[in-house]
Amino acid sequence: MNKAKFFRLLISHAILIFMVVIIIYPLLWTVGASFNPGNSLISTTMIPQNPTLDHYRELFAGSESLQYVQWYLNSLKISIFTMIGAVICVSFTAYAFSRFRFKGRQNALTLFLLLQMIPQFSALIALFVLAQILGMMNSHWLLILLYIGGLIPLNTYLMKGYMDSIPMDLDESAKIDGASNTRIFLQIIMPLSKPMIAVVAMTGFTGPLGDFILASTILRSPEYYTLPIGLYNLVNDVMGASFTTFAAGAILISIPIAIIFLLLQKNFVSGLTAGGTKG
């Protein structure tokens, strides 16, 4: 091993270890905070002296302002229905755009491209005003519909790009054998688009979990909150006062999501670059 190589590797490891520390520190600190007794952050240490499970118990105790289980279920419900709705809408529409030449196709594609650029919060004022007047505040279904609508333009584009790369010969030979359009879609196109469907399902599921702006506009009573709003209010009502409880809640939501992300990361990257570059 020559000297230059040794130093290069040494420096590389030094930088990487530094980054690992920077990444791990906040995460471990949160884990530590969740086991610390008391509510305040002042006494928080990374390795608690008297570790306690109190904060986790508190989450499930179900007080008026802390309905963690309810928020969890709300978030799960919204995410699952958004995911299902988005996958169905996006894959059918992408199939139509990819395999059929129909009147208005061009215009619709341009419309999707345009809508995909207009940020969804443009609708924020309208939603706030209308939901208030029409009494649609706190409606989960309205929120789900909005999320699905927001996901359609970009994801249809990506999915269409992906389906374009599936050879037409497959459809044509199936058609000669007498398969209907729907059957071709369900039995040939869908199975072959699995990586991209995984991406759409993933964005559909995690999108609502990361959204604060739309959900906080529409959901106003604690029993309808999703996790982001609930946890935000928990931290911000009395800053620092219930940070330890927040930490416990944050860990319980982060672990399952992080595992799914890490398992699906290959799909994510390949689906995104494949669909993206082919337009």
Partner 1 sequence: MQARKKALWLSILPGFGQFYNKQWIKGLLFLGLGISFFLVFGDLLNMGFWGLATLGTEVPRDNSIFLLAEGLIAVIVTIFGLAFYYVNLRDAYKNGKLRDENKPLSSLKSDYQNLIAQGYPYLISGPSLFILIFAVIFPILFSFALAFTNYDLYHSPPANLADWVGFDTFAKIFTVDIWRSTFFSVLGWTIIWTLVASTLQVALGIFMAVLVNQKDLRFKKFYRTILVLPWAVPGFVTILIFAGLFNDSFGAINNDILAMLGIDAIPWLTDENWTKVALILMQGWLGFPFIFLVTTGVLQSIPDDLYEAARIDGASIFAQFRNITMPMILIATAPVIITQYTFNFNNFNIIYLFNGGGPSVPGSTAGGTDILVSWIYKLTLQSSQYSLAAALTILLSVFVIAIALWQFRRTDAFKEGA
66-85: contacts with partner 1 (CB under 8 A) = none
28 binds partner 1 (CB under 8 A): no
Q: Interface with partner 1 by CB under 8 A: which range of 52-60, 65-73, 152-160, 192-200?
A: 152-160
Q: Is 134 exposed, middle or buried (0-12, 13-18, 19+ CB in 10 A)?
A: exposed
In the complex, least distance from residue 203 CB atom to partner 1, rounded to whole angstroms: 13
Q: Alpha-carbon distance 256 to 258, whole Å?
A: 6
> Is 168 one of the binding residues for partner 1 (CB under 8 A)?
no
Does residue 10 interact with partner 1 by CB under 8 A?
no
Tell me: does residue 187 bind partner 1 (CB under 8 A). Answer: no
Residue 46: strand, helix, or coil? coil
- Residue 257 binds to partner 1 (criterion: CB under 8 A): yes
The residues in 204-223 that bind partner 1, with binding defined as CB under 8 A, are 206, 209-210, 212-213, 217
CA distance 127 to 143: 10
Task: Tell me: does residue 190 bind partner 1 (CB under 8 A).
Answer: no
Q: CB count, 10 Å around CB of 128?
A: 14
Contact pick of 166, 192, 235, 267 for partner 1 (by CB under 8 A): 235
62 membership: H or E segment, kind and range = none
Based on the shown chain and the rule CB under 8 A, indicate whether residue 250 belongs to the binding site for partner 1.
yes
Please give the size of the binding site for partner 1, defined by CB under 8 A. 99
Handedness of CA 212, 214, 217, 218 (dihedral sign): negative
Radius of gyration of the chain (CA): 24
Name the one range near partner 1 by CB under 8 A: 5-13, 51-59, 76-84, 166-174: 5-13
Among 56, 174, 240, 267, binds partner 1 (CB under 8 A): 240
User: Per rule CB under 8 A, is residue 114 in the interface with partner 1?
Assistant: yes
Q: Which of 61, 73, 119, 168 binds partner 1 (CB under 8 A)?
A: 119
Other beta carbons within 10 angstroms of residue 242's beta carbon come to 22
Q: Is 14 in the site for partner 1 (CB under 8 A)?
A: no
Q: Does 203 bind partner 1 (CB under 8 A)?
A: no
Q: Is 42 among the residues that bind partner 1 (CB under 8 A)?
A: yes
Task: Indicate whether 96 belongs to the interface with partner 1 (CB under 8 A).
Answer: yes
Rounded Cα distance, 132 and 66, in Å: 25
Q: Which DSSP symbol is given to 36?
A: S
Rule CB under 8 A: say whether 176 interacts with partner 1. no
Dist. CA 34–CA 44, nearest whole Å: 9
83 in Cβ contact with 205 (< 8 Å): yes
CB of 176 to partner 1, least distance (A): 16
Closest CA to 77 of 254, 226, 184, 203: 226
For residue 117, state whether it binds partner 1 (rule: CB under 8 A): yes
Closest CB to partner 1 among residues 157, 224: 157
Residues 6+ apart with CB under 8 A from 182: none
Strand blocks (E) in 49-171:
none
Using CB under 8 A, which of 49, 64, 100, 176 touches partner 1?
100
